[in-house]
Amino acid sequence: MKNTNMKNNNTQEQDTMAAIGIGAMIVFIALILVAAVAAAVIIQTAEKLQQNAQSTGEDTTDEMSGKVQILNVFVNDGATSYEVYFRLAAGSDDTADTGILWQVSCDDGAGAFQYIAGDFSDVNGNVVDLGDNTASDVDDVEAGVAYRFTLDATNAAGNDCGPDALFNNNVKATLYIHVVGGGTTYDILKVNDATEGAVVV
C-alpha cells in the first residue's frame, strides 16, 4: 500500500513540472513577439525621423545657398534707378537671370503704399558681369562672381520708389530679392544724396 502511494505522488509531481515548462515556453514566445513588434515600431519611427531630418536639411541648404548677397547699392541717374551690386551666396547653383526676382516698396510721402517688381532680365537693366572686360549682359548668374544690375524703381502705373522720390519725400524703401526655389534677401534703401554715384544706405 505504501509503495503505491509513493508512485502516485511521483506521477503528480512530474505532471506539475511539465505544466510549468509549457507555461514558461508560452511566456517566452509571447516576450519574443512583443519584442519583435516593439523593434518594428522603433525602426519605423527612426526611419521616419531620418527622412524628415534629411528633407529639412535639404530645404535649409537650398534656402541658405540659393540666396543673393547684396554687396552695395548706388544711385544710378538720380531720378528713377539704382545700381545694385550683388553675388550669389556660397554653394549656390548657377541661376538664370529670369530666376532672380526683385520687389521694391515704399511710401509716397503721403502715406500711400507703392510697389514695383520685376526680374533680373528686365529690358531696362540686364545683369552685367563685373569681371567681364566687355561688360556684356549675362543670362546665367554664377556663384562667387560679382554682378551689377540696373534696377528701375518706377513703373507705368505711376509708382515711384526711385532715388529722387525717396530723397524728396524723406522716406525709405524696402528692396526684396528672391531666388526661385531658394531664399530671400532684403535691404532697406535710404537716399541721403540723390546725385549719381552716391551710396544708398
pLDDT 10s digit of each residue in the chain, 201 long?
A: 555 555 555 555 555 666 677 788 888 899 999 999 999 999 999 999 998 888 887 776 666 667 899 999 999 876 789 999 999 988 788 888 889 999 999 998 888 999 999 999 875 557 888 776 555 677 888 888 899 998 999 988 889 999 999 999 999 999 999 998 888 899 999 999 999 999 997
Tell me, yes or no, if the pTM score tops 0.75. Answer: no
Question: Closest by alpha carbon to 153, among 77, 85, 97?
Answer: 77
Collapse the DSSP code of 35 into the 3-class scheme (helix H, G, I; strand E, B; otherwise coil) and give the result: helix
Give CA–CA dist 120/151, Å, rounded. 8
Give CA–CA dist 118/152, Å, rounded. 9
Residue 84 · residue 70 · CB < 8 Å? yes
Give CA–CA dist 64/42, Å, rounded. 33
